[in-house]
Structure 1
Amino acid sequence: MVTLYRPGSSLWHLLATGRKALVLAALVLAISLLPQAWGRPTATIPAALCLACYAVPGIGLRVLLGQLVAMRWILIVTAVGQLIFLGPGPALVNTTRIAALISIAALLALTTRTTDLLDAMERGLSPLSRLRIDPQRVALLLAVTLNTVPALTRAAGQVREAQRARSARPSLRRFAVPFLILALKHADELGEALTARGVR
Protein backbone atom coordinates (compact mmCIF):
# COMPACT_ATOMS: atom_id res chain seq x y z
CA MET A 1 0.00 0.00 0.00
CA VAL A 2 1.12 3.56 -0.71
CA THR A 3 2.62 5.01 2.47
CA LEU A 4 4.63 7.96 3.75
CA TYR A 5 6.42 5.82 6.33
CA ARG A 6 10.06 6.74 7.01
CA PRO A 7 12.14 4.07 8.76
CA GLY A 8 13.90 5.19 11.91
CA SER A 9 14.64 4.51 15.55
CA SER A 10 13.13 7.59 17.21
CA LEU A 11 10.91 7.53 20.25
CA TRP A 12 7.88 7.78 17.97
CA HIS A 13 9.08 4.79 15.94
CA LEU A 14 9.66 2.70 19.06
CA LEU A 15 6.37 3.58 20.76
CA ALA A 16 3.65 0.94 20.35
CA THR A 17 1.24 1.88 17.55
CA GLY A 18 -1.86 1.96 19.76
CA ARG A 19 -0.24 4.13 22.42
CA LYS A 20 1.29 6.40 19.81
CA ALA A 21 -2.08 6.90 18.14
CA LEU A 22 -3.70 7.74 21.48
CA VAL A 23 -0.95 10.24 22.40
CA LEU A 24 -1.11 11.98 19.04
CA ALA A 25 -4.92 11.98 19.09
CA ALA A 26 -4.85 13.54 22.57
CA LEU A 27 -2.49 16.27 21.34
CA VAL A 28 -4.66 16.95 18.30
CA LEU A 29 -7.76 17.12 20.51
CA ALA A 30 -6.03 19.43 22.99
CA ILE A 31 -5.03 21.84 20.22
CA SER A 32 -8.53 21.71 18.72
CA LEU A 33 -10.12 22.57 22.07
CA LEU A 34 -7.91 25.56 22.82
CA PRO A 35 -10.00 28.66 23.62
CA GLN A 36 -10.72 31.00 20.74
CA ALA A 37 -8.85 33.92 22.32
CA TRP A 38 -7.08 35.63 19.45
CA GLY A 39 -3.48 36.58 19.99
CA ARG A 40 0.06 35.34 20.12
CA PRO A 41 -0.31 33.17 23.27
CA THR A 42 -3.04 31.08 21.60
CA ALA A 43 -0.87 30.64 18.52
CA THR A 44 2.22 29.83 20.60
CA ILE A 45 0.78 26.75 22.31
CA PRO A 46 0.06 24.72 19.12
CA ALA A 47 3.41 25.76 17.66
CA ALA A 48 5.26 24.72 20.83
CA LEU A 49 3.52 21.33 20.99
CA CYS A 50 4.29 20.70 17.32
CA LEU A 51 7.95 21.65 17.74
CA ALA A 52 8.23 19.39 20.79
CA CYS A 53 6.82 16.43 18.84
CA TYR A 54 9.35 16.83 16.02
CA ALA A 55 12.31 17.78 18.22
CA VAL A 56 12.79 14.20 19.47
CA PRO A 57 16.04 12.56 18.32
CA GLY A 58 15.55 10.63 15.11
CA ILE A 59 12.87 12.94 13.69
CA GLY A 60 14.22 16.49 13.71
CA LEU A 61 12.93 19.89 12.74
CA ARG A 62 14.05 19.36 9.15
CA VAL A 63 11.25 16.80 8.77
CA LEU A 64 8.81 19.33 10.22
CA LEU A 65 10.02 21.93 7.75
CA GLY A 66 9.42 19.43 4.95
CA GLN A 67 5.87 18.91 6.19
CA LEU A 68 5.22 22.65 6.31
CA VAL A 69 6.62 23.15 2.82
CA ALA A 70 4.43 20.32 1.51
CA MET A 71 1.28 21.90 2.98
CA ARG A 72 2.22 25.49 2.17
CA TRP A 73 -0.66 26.01 -0.29
CA ILE A 74 -3.20 24.84 2.27
CA LEU A 75 -1.69 27.26 4.79
CA ILE A 76 -1.58 30.13 2.31
CA VAL A 77 -5.23 29.70 1.32
CA THR A 78 -6.23 29.42 4.98
CA ALA A 79 -4.22 32.47 6.02
CA VAL A 80 -5.51 34.65 3.17
CA GLY A 81 -9.13 33.68 3.76
CA GLN A 82 -8.87 34.27 7.50
CA LEU A 83 -7.04 37.56 6.95
CA ILE A 84 -9.73 38.86 4.62
CA PHE A 85 -12.75 37.83 6.67
CA LEU A 86 -11.52 37.80 10.29
CA GLY A 87 -8.38 39.91 10.49
CA PRO A 88 -4.72 39.35 11.40
CA GLY A 89 -5.22 37.87 14.89
CA PRO A 90 -7.56 35.04 13.88
CA ALA A 91 -5.53 34.44 10.72
CA LEU A 92 -2.37 33.90 12.77
CA VAL A 93 -4.05 31.64 15.34
CA ASN A 94 -6.08 29.50 12.91
CA THR A 95 -3.27 29.04 10.40
CA THR A 96 -0.83 28.07 13.17
CA ARG A 97 -3.39 25.69 14.64
CA ILE A 98 -4.07 23.99 11.28
CA ALA A 99 -0.34 23.65 10.57
CA ALA A 100 0.22 22.07 13.99
CA LEU A 101 -2.76 19.72 13.66
CA ILE A 102 -1.74 18.41 10.24
CA SER A 103 1.93 18.08 11.21
CA ILE A 104 1.20 16.20 14.44
CA ALA A 105 -1.29 13.89 12.72
CA ALA A 106 1.28 13.24 9.97
CA LEU A 107 3.68 11.83 12.57
CA LEU A 108 1.50 8.72 12.79
CA ALA A 109 1.91 8.00 9.07
CA LEU A 110 5.59 9.01 9.06
CA THR A 111 6.61 6.72 11.94
CA THR A 112 4.22 3.77 11.57
CA ARG A 113 4.13 1.05 8.94
CA THR A 114 0.73 0.82 7.29
CA THR A 115 0.38 -2.84 8.26
CA ASP A 116 1.08 -2.01 11.92
CA LEU A 117 -1.40 0.85 11.77
CA LEU A 118 -4.09 -1.40 10.30
CA ASP A 119 -3.50 -4.11 12.90
CA ALA A 120 -3.72 -1.60 15.77
CA MET A 121 -6.88 -0.03 14.39
CA GLU A 122 -8.50 -3.42 13.87
CA ARG A 123 -7.78 -4.36 17.48
CA GLY A 124 -9.09 -1.03 18.76
CA LEU A 125 -12.24 -1.23 16.65
CA SER A 126 -12.96 -4.90 17.36
CA PRO A 127 -15.91 -4.05 19.71
CA LEU A 128 -17.74 -2.72 16.62
CA SER A 129 -18.16 -6.31 15.43
CA ARG A 130 -20.92 -6.68 18.04
CA LEU A 131 -22.83 -4.02 16.10
CA ARG A 132 -22.31 -5.95 12.84
CA ILE A 133 -19.74 -3.41 11.65
CA ASP A 134 -16.62 -4.84 10.04
CA PRO A 135 -13.68 -3.39 12.03
CA GLN A 136 -11.25 -4.37 9.27
CA ARG A 137 -13.02 -2.19 6.71
CA VAL A 138 -13.32 0.73 9.12
CA ALA A 139 -9.61 0.46 10.01
CA LEU A 140 -8.69 0.31 6.35
CA LEU A 141 -10.76 3.42 5.62
CA LEU A 142 -9.04 5.35 8.42
CA ALA A 143 -5.57 4.19 7.36
CA VAL A 144 -6.24 5.13 3.72
CA THR A 145 -7.43 8.59 4.80
CA LEU A 146 -4.35 9.17 6.96
CA ASN A 147 -2.08 8.31 4.03
CA THR A 148 -4.04 9.94 1.21
CA VAL A 149 -4.24 13.50 2.55
CA PRO A 150 -0.47 13.99 2.95
CA ALA A 151 0.14 12.14 -0.32
CA LEU A 152 -2.06 14.59 -2.24
CA THR A 153 -0.42 17.51 -0.43
CA ARG A 154 2.97 16.23 -1.57
CA ALA A 155 1.64 15.83 -5.12
CA ALA A 156 0.54 19.47 -5.13
CA GLY A 157 4.04 20.48 -4.06
CA GLN A 158 5.59 18.40 -6.85
CA VAL A 159 3.40 20.12 -9.44
CA ARG A 160 4.37 23.57 -8.23
CA GLU A 161 8.07 22.67 -8.14
CA ALA A 162 7.89 21.34 -11.70
CA GLN A 163 6.16 24.52 -12.88
CA ARG A 164 8.71 26.67 -11.09
CA ALA A 165 11.55 24.72 -12.71
CA ARG A 166 10.06 25.51 -16.14
CA SER A 167 9.49 29.15 -15.11
CA ALA A 168 5.79 28.73 -15.85
CA ARG A 169 3.41 31.43 -14.71
CA PRO A 170 1.06 30.42 -11.88
CA SER A 171 -2.27 29.32 -13.32
CA LEU A 172 -5.14 27.34 -11.85
CA ARG A 173 -5.63 25.40 -15.09
CA ARG A 174 -1.92 24.61 -15.47
CA PHE A 175 -1.87 23.44 -11.87
CA ALA A 176 -5.15 21.50 -11.90
CA VAL A 177 -4.45 19.22 -14.87
CA PRO A 178 -1.12 17.70 -13.70
CA PHE A 179 -2.38 17.58 -10.12
CA LEU A 180 -5.46 15.67 -11.26
CA ILE A 181 -3.24 13.23 -13.17
CA LEU A 182 -1.10 12.60 -10.07
CA ALA A 183 -4.22 12.22 -7.93
CA LEU A 184 -5.70 9.67 -10.36
CA LYS A 185 -2.39 7.82 -10.45
CA HIS A 186 -2.39 7.67 -6.67
CA ALA A 187 -5.99 6.43 -6.74
CA ASP A 188 -5.05 3.67 -9.22
CA GLU A 189 -2.12 2.54 -7.06
CA LEU A 190 -4.35 2.62 -4.00
CA GLY A 191 -7.03 0.63 -5.80
CA GLU A 192 -4.50 -2.02 -6.83
CA ALA A 193 -3.24 -2.25 -3.24
CA LEU A 194 -6.77 -2.64 -1.91
CA THR A 195 -7.58 -5.28 -4.53
CA ALA A 196 -4.44 -7.21 -3.58
CA ARG A 197 -5.65 -7.09 0.02
CA GLY A 198 -8.98 -8.60 -1.04
CA VAL A 199 -11.07 -5.45 -0.63
CA ARG A 200 -13.73 -4.82 -3.28
Structure 2
Amino acid sequence: MTSYKLTYFNMRGRAELPRYIFAYAGIAFEDRRVEWSDWPSIKKKVLMTNNTLSAFPLGKLPVLEVNGLPLTQSLAIARFLAKEAGLVGNSRLAEAQADALVDTLNDFTLLIPWREDNPQIKTQKIDMLFQSHAPKLLDHLQCHLGDRKWLVGDSDAGGRSAEGRQLHGKHLGQVSPRINRPLPHSWRRLSPCRHLL
Protein backbone atom coordinates (compact mmCIF):
# COMPACT_ATOMS: atom_id res chain seq x y z
CA MET A 1 0.00 0.00 0.00
CA THR A 2 1.30 3.44 -0.93
CA SER A 3 2.00 5.82 1.94
CA TYR A 4 1.63 9.58 1.57
CA LYS A 5 2.95 12.31 3.86
CA LEU A 6 2.19 15.92 2.96
CA THR A 7 4.28 18.54 4.75
CA TYR A 8 3.29 22.18 4.69
CA PHE A 9 2.78 25.13 7.00
CA ASN A 10 -0.16 25.19 9.41
CA MET A 11 -2.37 26.98 6.89
CA ARG A 12 -4.29 26.30 3.67
CA GLY A 13 -2.05 27.89 1.04
CA ARG A 14 -0.20 25.72 -1.44
CA ALA A 15 -1.11 22.42 0.19
CA GLU A 16 -4.87 22.92 0.08
CA LEU A 17 -5.39 21.56 -3.43
CA PRO A 18 -3.56 18.30 -2.61
CA ARG A 19 -5.59 18.09 0.64
CA TYR A 20 -8.83 18.51 -1.36
CA ILE A 21 -7.79 15.72 -3.71
CA PHE A 22 -6.94 13.40 -0.82
CA ALA A 23 -10.30 14.16 0.82
CA TYR A 24 -12.36 13.86 -2.36
CA ALA A 25 -10.75 10.56 -3.36
CA GLY A 26 -10.79 9.15 0.18
CA ILE A 27 -7.03 8.54 0.16
CA ALA A 28 -5.40 8.28 3.60
CA PHE A 29 -2.39 10.52 4.16
CA GLU A 30 -0.34 12.06 6.95
CA ASP A 31 -0.99 15.81 7.09
CA ARG A 32 2.18 17.18 8.69
CA ARG A 33 1.73 20.86 9.62
CA VAL A 34 4.78 22.97 10.38
CA GLU A 35 4.56 26.23 12.28
CA TRP A 36 6.01 29.14 10.32
CA SER A 37 8.33 30.06 13.20
CA ASP A 38 9.73 26.50 13.36
CA TRP A 39 10.45 26.15 9.64
CA PRO A 40 13.98 27.69 9.52
CA SER A 41 15.31 25.35 12.21
CA ILE A 42 13.55 22.29 10.74
CA LYS A 43 14.91 23.03 7.27
CA LYS A 44 18.44 23.66 8.58
CA LYS A 45 18.44 20.50 10.72
CA VAL A 46 17.22 18.29 7.86
CA LEU A 47 19.66 19.75 5.35
CA MET A 48 22.60 19.34 7.75
CA THR A 49 21.85 15.76 8.84
CA ASN A 50 20.96 14.24 5.46
CA ASN A 51 23.95 13.75 3.22
CA THR A 52 21.85 11.87 0.69
CA LEU A 53 18.36 12.80 -0.48
CA SER A 54 16.95 15.67 1.56
CA ALA A 55 13.36 15.55 2.83
CA PHE A 56 13.07 19.11 1.45
CA PRO A 57 15.09 18.98 -1.80
CA LEU A 58 14.29 22.56 -2.84
CA GLY A 59 14.40 23.93 0.69
CA LYS A 60 10.73 24.92 0.62
CA LEU A 61 7.24 23.55 1.14
CA PRO A 62 4.99 21.79 0.30
CA VAL A 63 6.62 18.40 -0.03
CA LEU A 64 4.73 15.17 -0.61
CA GLU A 65 6.57 12.02 0.40
CA VAL A 66 5.38 8.97 -1.52
CA ASN A 67 6.70 5.83 0.14
CA GLY A 68 9.46 8.03 1.57
CA LEU A 69 10.48 9.66 -1.72
CA PRO A 70 9.94 13.43 -1.90
CA LEU A 71 7.95 15.25 -4.57
CA THR A 72 8.05 19.05 -4.61
CA GLN A 73 6.04 21.91 -6.13
CA SER A 74 2.37 22.19 -5.26
CA LEU A 75 0.91 21.85 -8.75
CA ALA A 76 3.17 18.89 -9.60
CA ILE A 77 1.96 17.28 -6.36
CA ALA A 78 -1.68 18.02 -7.23
CA ARG A 79 -1.34 16.67 -10.77
CA PHE A 80 0.32 13.50 -9.49
CA LEU A 81 -2.44 12.97 -6.92
CA ALA A 82 -5.16 13.68 -9.49
CA LYS A 83 -3.71 10.91 -11.66
CA GLU A 84 -3.48 8.58 -8.65
CA ALA A 85 -7.14 9.31 -7.84
CA GLY A 86 -8.39 8.99 -11.43
CA LEU A 87 -9.39 12.66 -11.63
CA VAL A 88 -7.58 13.66 -14.81
CA GLY A 89 -10.14 12.79 -17.46
CA ASN A 90 -10.45 10.02 -19.98
CA SER A 91 -8.24 11.50 -22.71
CA ARG A 92 -5.10 13.58 -23.04
CA LEU A 93 -7.24 16.51 -24.18
CA ALA A 94 -9.47 16.25 -21.08
CA GLU A 95 -6.33 16.06 -18.93
CA ALA A 96 -4.96 19.21 -20.59
CA GLN A 97 -8.31 20.97 -20.10
CA ALA A 98 -8.23 20.12 -16.39
CA ASP A 99 -4.63 21.39 -16.22
CA ALA A 100 -5.72 24.64 -17.86
CA LEU A 101 -8.43 25.14 -15.22
CA VAL A 102 -5.96 24.43 -12.42
CA ASP A 103 -3.52 26.95 -13.92
CA THR A 104 -6.33 29.51 -14.19
CA LEU A 105 -7.16 29.12 -10.50
CA ASN A 106 -3.45 29.23 -9.67
CA ASP A 107 -3.16 32.59 -11.46
CA PHE A 108 -5.78 33.89 -9.04
CA THR A 109 -4.11 32.47 -5.93
CA LEU A 110 -0.83 34.13 -6.92
CA LEU A 111 -2.58 37.49 -6.47
CA ILE A 112 -3.35 36.81 -2.78
CA PRO A 113 -0.93 38.77 -0.56
CA TRP A 114 0.26 35.73 1.39
CA ARG A 115 3.39 37.42 2.75
CA GLU A 116 1.84 40.71 3.83
CA ASP A 117 2.64 41.12 7.52
CA ASN A 118 0.34 44.03 8.29
CA PRO A 119 -3.12 42.47 8.95
CA GLN A 120 -5.01 45.66 8.01
CA ILE A 121 -3.20 46.05 4.69
CA LYS A 122 -3.57 42.31 4.00
CA THR A 123 -7.34 42.48 4.64
CA GLN A 124 -7.67 45.55 2.38
CA LYS A 125 -5.73 43.86 -0.43
CA ILE A 126 -7.75 40.66 -0.14
CA ASP A 127 -11.03 42.60 -0.09
CA MET A 128 -9.98 44.48 -3.24
CA LEU A 129 -8.94 41.22 -4.89
CA PHE A 130 -12.28 39.55 -4.14
CA GLN A 131 -14.22 42.62 -5.29
CA SER A 132 -12.36 43.08 -8.56
CA HIS A 133 -10.77 39.81 -9.73
CA ALA A 134 -12.91 37.07 -8.19
CA PRO A 135 -16.19 38.06 -9.89
CA LYS A 136 -14.43 38.11 -13.28
CA LEU A 137 -12.90 34.70 -12.62
CA LEU A 138 -16.28 33.29 -11.58
CA ASP A 139 -17.92 34.77 -14.68
CA HIS A 140 -15.30 33.17 -16.94
CA LEU A 141 -15.64 29.80 -15.24
CA GLN A 142 -19.44 30.01 -15.32
CA CYS A 143 -19.27 30.84 -19.03
CA HIS A 144 -16.96 27.85 -19.55
CA LEU A 145 -19.32 25.63 -17.58
CA GLY A 146 -22.47 26.83 -19.35
CA ASP A 147 -25.41 24.52 -18.72
CA ARG A 148 -23.20 21.48 -18.14
CA LYS A 149 -22.55 19.94 -14.74
CA TRP A 150 -18.88 19.26 -15.45
CA LEU A 151 -16.08 21.68 -16.26
CA VAL A 152 -14.21 18.84 -18.00
CA GLY A 153 -15.86 15.78 -19.48
CA ASP A 154 -19.51 14.80 -19.46
CA SER A 155 -19.88 12.24 -16.70
CA ASP A 156 -22.67 12.17 -14.15
CA ALA A 157 -21.95 13.60 -10.69
CA GLY A 158 -22.75 10.37 -8.85
CA GLY A 159 -20.31 8.13 -10.72
CA ARG A 160 -17.23 6.78 -8.96
CA SER A 161 -15.48 5.57 -12.10
CA ALA A 162 -12.46 7.42 -13.45
CA GLU A 163 -14.77 9.46 -15.68
CA GLY A 164 -17.20 10.00 -12.81
CA ARG A 165 -14.53 11.69 -10.73
CA GLN A 166 -13.55 14.31 -13.29
CA LEU A 167 -13.43 17.95 -12.34
CA HIS A 168 -16.95 19.09 -11.44
CA GLY A 169 -18.09 22.65 -10.89
CA LYS A 170 -19.62 21.97 -7.49
CA HIS A 171 -16.30 20.67 -6.13
CA LEU A 172 -14.32 23.83 -6.85
CA GLY A 173 -15.16 25.27 -3.47
CA GLN A 174 -16.96 28.10 -1.83
CA VAL A 175 -15.76 31.53 -2.71
CA SER A 176 -15.29 34.10 0.01
CA PRO A 177 -18.37 35.94 1.30
CA ARG A 178 -16.45 39.10 0.37
CA ILE A 179 -18.05 38.86 -3.07
CA ASN A 180 -21.23 40.92 -2.89
CA ARG A 181 -23.35 39.01 -5.37
CA PRO A 182 -25.01 35.61 -5.70
CA LEU A 183 -22.57 32.86 -6.55
CA PRO A 184 -23.02 30.85 -9.75
CA HIS A 185 -24.81 27.56 -9.22
CA SER A 186 -21.57 25.65 -9.74
CA TRP A 187 -19.81 27.31 -6.79
CA ARG A 188 -22.38 27.06 -4.01
CA ARG A 189 -21.02 24.10 -2.10
CA LEU A 190 -17.88 22.13 -1.58
CA SER A 191 -19.51 18.73 -0.91
CA PRO A 192 -16.97 16.12 0.27
CA CYS A 193 -14.23 18.64 1.10
CA ARG A 194 -16.23 20.98 3.35
CA HIS A 195 -14.50 19.69 6.51
CA LEU A 196 -11.16 21.03 5.26
CA LEU A 197 -12.30 24.66 5.31
TM-score, with length taken from structure 2: 0.30
Higher relative contact order (CA 8 A, sep 6+): 1
TM-score, with length taken from structure 1: 0.30
| Greater strand share, structure number | 2
| Greater helix share, structure number | 1
